[in-house]
Amino acid sequence: MLGNRSREMKLEIGGVVVAAKLYGEDHRFEMADVYRSFLSEGRSEATFAVRYASLPDLKFGEKVFDSGGSWKLYRDDGRWCFVLQSPALGPEPYQIAVVDADFRKGDIHIEPRAVDQTPSPYPLGYPLEEVLFTTLLSLGRGVLLHALAVSDRGHAIIFAGTSGVGKSTLADLWKNQEGVTILSDDRVIVREEEGRFWAYGTPWHGDVNLCSPAKAPVDRIFVIRHAGENSAVPLEARTALTSLLVRSFPTYWNPEGMGFILEFLVRMSRAVPCYDLGFVPDRSVIDFFRTIQRC
């Protein structure tokens, strides 16, 4: 049975179903309410066994990526090994995920000392969840963008932007509009299905705390910035590509995944109208967007 407390859970994010199974007596997963609408009973594409116990003595192999912060990635005998550390917990790792080369299954080990109050916290917390899903998407499925996505009467508008350029402001303006669903105010998954690009909501919301598991076909993409007036200038495909690439979450650790992400963004920037958007942070920008949609 799925719920806020369970020994097994399945999450569907961006059309990708991931299962986590907990091993150990008297343990149950704890998860934030935001994940409830992403729980699934579908067939999983990747399954992870989760254990809350002292970390095994593993040989990490060759280091292939260092985030410079909370995690490192190693390759050992074809497997991926994600090693998470935190200054608050000392120099030793507090969590290790060992994943098969095809990302279909793996093991997640979590140190008891990393658990605060909750015996079995959510096992896919930041940054592991984002890294796992980014990699799964890059294996021929789709791309994660740093963006706000709005479904306006069943059609998605993507507002791509780095931190501080106005995604939360726009989400706040859109949230009470009739016929509008905020798919996510910070992280959006885009996939290509039958020749059309679709935006999916994710639980990885931003400051406005809005998200939905829904999806919608992408009509427009805006690369956003604050400005003194509302203006939208069409971007050439090449400029759109570079703008979206720097607002995506590339898999630097996997050349094949990087190749797919680049090819995907090339196709999307050619197929979907993209604009440089300067906007005024008030309700006038909503009418401005809808005028563009009618064109």
Indicate the domain borders of the chain.
5-138, 142-294
Q: What is the mean pLDDT of residues 65-83?
A: 90
User: For residues 12 and 146, what is the distance between their CA atoms, to the nearest angstrom?
Assistant: 19
Residue-level pLDDT at 4? 42
pLDDT tens profile 272-287: 999 999 999 898 988 8
Residue-level pLDDT at 259? 96
List all residues 6 or more positions away from 227 whose beta carbon is below 8 Å from its beta carbon. Answer: 278, 279, 280
User: For residues 281 and 172, what is the distance between their CA atoms, to the nearest angstrom?
Assistant: 10
Residue-level pLDDT at 61? 86
pLDDT at 117 over 60: no
Beta strand pairing call for 155-160 and 231-234: unpaired
pLDDT tens profile 169-216: 999 999 888 889 999 999 999 999 989 999 999 999 888 888 999 999
Residue-level pLDDT at 3? 41
Per DSSP, 55 falls in state P
CATH class, 142-294 region: alpha beta
Percent of the chain with pLDDT over 90: 61
